[in-house]
Structure 1
Amino acid sequence: MSGVARLGKRTKDLTKRLQPGDIAIIDHEDIDRVAAEALVEREPAAVLNVSASTSGRYPNAGPRILLDAGIALVDSLGEAVFEDVRDGETVTVAGGTVSRGEELLASGTRQDDETVAASLEAAREGLSEQLELFAENTLEYMLRERDLLLDGIGAPEVRTRLDGRAALIVVRGYHYKEDLATLKPFLRENRPVIIGVDGGADAVIEAGFHPDMIIGDMDSVSDRALRGGSELVVHAYRDGRAPGMERLEALGVDDGAIAFPASGTSEDIAMLLADEKGASVIVAVGTHGTLEEFLDKGRAGMSSTFLTRLRIGSKLVDAKGVSRLYRQRISTFQLVLLALAGLAALAVALWATPGGQALVQILGARLDGVLSWFTMLFSPRVTGA
């Protein structure tokens, strides 16, 4: 197959430029579910990975998702591809080779159902080691952030009022589009404080709403979202460094922006901030909640998410649960349809009786008289000579 090559070492940035039929060239070890679903949505002809799509650390879901979508996947092409291939030029993929015309550029391993299944089986054998690392990171994070976790010390003051209100935290993660679509009635009727975590702010805007607050390191949120007037909270390192603030300064939207120094992920500090500021309930969209999702994220820092959920407790509700429990109230349109159906049934019942037929005839005569009078008002008058 041949197509236009699009290169990007950050998969989430590359997907913004991909067009259907392109050849995506990435550097993504252990392709996770979120990255794979983002690639599938853009419909590339093939995905060429300079790294191993499954390294063996844990059984990641990304390669299987790509193959099930009919997208060719070639692994372990090597870093030289980023030097030999220019963005926008046409390349050809044949088996595990990549060429430009007659020139061979790189060769790797073409993945299929059998190779992916074998890689996942081998990765499951090393899962116990990942669980041990996860437990160690959890303990380390607990000791490092005990003041924030236990007492909320370090959470900054924000302008957005959260006390006593519901908060919706949106992360561009697992099934966020479906969850947001399900929650639209909840959003319209309850008007929660909407917090977008990095690219989650764009997801909120795409769904037709506006984020009240954007939290994150500001590396994957669009300029349009940052300029939308939301309160901006920059996730900073523990030593106070906040690279995301530089981007806000370049855009001229740093006035009033707040830095939140903390370890862990941006979705963690969004939950902790909402909890500390008194949110009555926290509804999470696209966040990570299961062990599979923690490992699929492929980050040691995901242990902080595990502890954050323990800290917030029953106040945190996953959007998938809300979609099953929450039922929309009867809409105005449904009430109108019900009233029309009732009137139609009444009319049929009247017409079935002699008295009803006489009543309908009388009403018809009255209506005809009203129409005749109304017509005469606009008819031309004849004047005498």
Structure 2
Amino acid sequence: MKFAVRSRPAPSLPGVHGPARVHRRTASLLGCLHEGDVAVVDHVDMDRDTAQALVDAGVAAVVNASPMISGRYPNLGPELLVQAGVLVVDSAGPEIFDRLKDGAEVRIDEGVVYAGDTLVAPARELTADGVRAEMGRARSGLAAQLESFTHNSTEFLRREQDLLLHGHGVPRTATDIAGRPVVVAVRSHGWEDELRGIKPFVREQRPVLIGVDRGADALASAGHRPDIVVVTGASDDQPSAAVLRKAKDVVVLVERGAPRSTTEHLERMGIRPLRFETTATTEDAALLLASAHDASLIVGVGMHATLDDFLDRQRGGLASTFLTRLKLGPDLVDAAALPRLYDGAVRPRHLLGAVVAGVLAVGAAISVTPVGQQWVDDVSPTVSSTTSDLIDNVRGILP
């Protein structure tokens, strides 16, 4: 017997349609999204990492209760969303969370959000031209942001001077890091290409692999097993339980004096986490962990390298990132640059050198055998005669 399948009728009203996924905290919403959803968030100055996560989830539209670009600094999230073809509307107002239920079918047309035929909130649709114009205005306000950043850096250095200057407080890991290269992976914009680019390095050098938050899942999805996973105790951005259980060390960032309950959820999974008491970001804590254990080289995957990337970070993490980069200095190499320095390829001159060395080694071995000595005795008169004739010819030519 065949049963009739109910198909969803095509929307007759104009605009983008989809089920709304509503949450004030964007990080809490990311794990609940599916392709075609409309993400409703409250996120001032959306950064590029969050925007990339929304694009990866396949959302059809993003409705922001707050401005996508406030003008404080040129954040990169809105530009990425618009370039990916995601409809972006912002400034919908906080009342949208009271008027719109999670899972409700919504429609967005010309910046206006509807639930069925009911107008939920007027908003503003962001276009590529609009984003470029606002980004230009935001860049003019960087001076004030940099002044605030200088103050924050001084405060962070005061709090973390023992960690930054002497490496105090870094947990001792079961993974041996001293003298070995380390790859620190963050699930960020462009991490897939960077991981592919350093495959020869990982295959031949066998570095210690450190996954930061969901960067551990990124390593696992690329076929690697993280040796160390660094997470924040109260974060919604933690990797899967399977990856955590397979890691040799799980390092959890906690505030100083935090109770044991902060890590109880990991202990219930059979994991014995290492507490790392610091106010640094998880990304920077992973770098400091590798540096404190005398890594020979640290390769950063998904790190923030340019000024725009740097300023696009969460505001509280700017000082941590800046001072950590100063601490590591030349020991830190960006994964995007590594293929230019090391590709693991064998050059023709390497093969030629190996062949010549092999021939010389075989010749030396044969020459000490009775047969080899007989060959040398037979060849020596011929070589001596040829050499004498060559010398006589040269003398005849010379005046």
Which range, TM-score by smaller chain? 0.7 to 0.9
Consecutive unaligned residues of structure 1, counting only runs of 5 or more, are 336-385
Cα distance, 1:242 vs. partner?
6.8
1:247 aligns with 2:265: yes
What corresponds to 1:192 in structure 2?
207
TM-score (norm 2): 0.78
SS in 1 for 2:246: coil
1:113 has 2:128 as partner: yes
Cα drift, residue 222 of structure 1? 2.1
User: The residue matched to 2:133 in structure 1 has which SS?
Assistant: helix
Q: Which residue of 1 aligns with 2:383?
A: none
Contact 2:174 2:248 in 1 (8 A): no
**Equivalent residue, structure 2, for 1:71:** 86
Q: CA deviation at 1:314?
A: 1.1
Check whether the contact 2:245–2:271 (CA below 8 A) recurs between aligned residues.
Answer: no
Instruction: State the distance in 1 between where 2:254 and 2:35 align.
Output: 36
Higher alpha-carbon deviation: 145-154 or 75-84: 75-84
Which is worse superposed, 89-98 or 34-43? 34-43
Contact residue 137 and residue 301 of structure 1 kept, 8 A: no
2:19 alignment partner in structure 1: 4
Report the Cα offset of residue 28 of structure 1. 1.4
C-alpha deviation, 1:241, in angstroms: 4.9
Q: CA deviation at 1:14?
A: 2.9
- How big is each residue's C-alpha offset from its partner over 1:321-374, in whole Å with a ceiling of 9 and x where there is no partner? 10222213359xxx9xxxxxxxxxxxxxxxxxxxxxxxxxxxxxxxxxxxxxxx
Question: Post-superposition shift, 1:277?
Answer: 0.9
Deviating above 4 A after TM superposition, structure 1's stretches of 4 or more consecutive aligned residues are 241-244
Q: 1:225 aligns with which of 243, 247, 267?
A: 243
Counterpart of 1:198, as a letter, is: D
Structure 1: which amino acid aligns with 2:192?
K
- Does 2:324 align with 1:308? yes
Q: 2:69 matched to which residue of 1?
A: 54
**8 A contact 1:179–1:323 mirrored in 2:** no
Moved more, 195-204 or 220-229: 220-229
CA offsets per residue over residues 33-52 of structure 1, 9 Å max, x none? 11222222233221101111
**1-structure distance, mates of 2:20, 2:100:** 8
- Other structure's SS at 1:121 match: helix
The corresponding residue for 2:359 is none
* CA contact 1:141–1:304 (8 Å) conserved in 2: yes
Letter in structure 2 aligned against 1:329: A
Report SS of the residue matched to 1:202: helix
1:89 matches 2:107? no
The root-mean-square deviation of aligned C-alpha atoms, in Å, is 2.0
Aligned residue runs from structure 1 range 361-372, under 5 A: none
Q: How far is 1:69 from its partner?
A: 1.8
1:279 and 2:295 matched: yes
| Closer/same/farther in 2, CA of residues 76 and 243 from structure 1, 3 Å limit | farther
Correspondence for 2:52 among 37, 47, 68 = 37
Q: Is the 8 A contact 1:294 1:303 kept in 2?
A: no
The aligned residue for residue 158 of structure 2 is 143
Which has the larger Rg?
Answer: 2
Match of 1:263 among 270, 276, 279: 279
Letter in 1 for 2:153: T
Q: Which amino acid aligns with 1:320?
A: A
1:34-87 deviation line (CA, Å, top 9, x unaligned): 122222223322110111101111011111121122211110112222232222
Shift of 1:92: 0.8
Q: Secondary structure at the match of 2:66?
A: coil
In structure 2, the residue matched to 1:378 is none
Kept in 1: contact 2:52–2:188 (CA 8 A): no
* Identity value in percent: 43
What letter is aligned with 2:208? V
> Could you tell me how far apart the structure 2 residues matched to 1:253 and 1:233 are?
14
C-alpha distance after superposition, 1:192-230 (max 9, x if no partner): 110111111011111111100111205212222222243
Count the aligned residue pairs.
Answer: 330
- Is it true that 1:293 corresponds to 2:292 in the alignment? no
Instruction: Quote the Cα distance in structure 1 between the aligned partners of 2:335 and 2:173.
Output: 25
Deviations 1:295-326 (A, max 9, x none): 10131322111111111111111111102222
Deviations 1:112-145 (A, max 9, x none): 2343233222212211000111111111111221
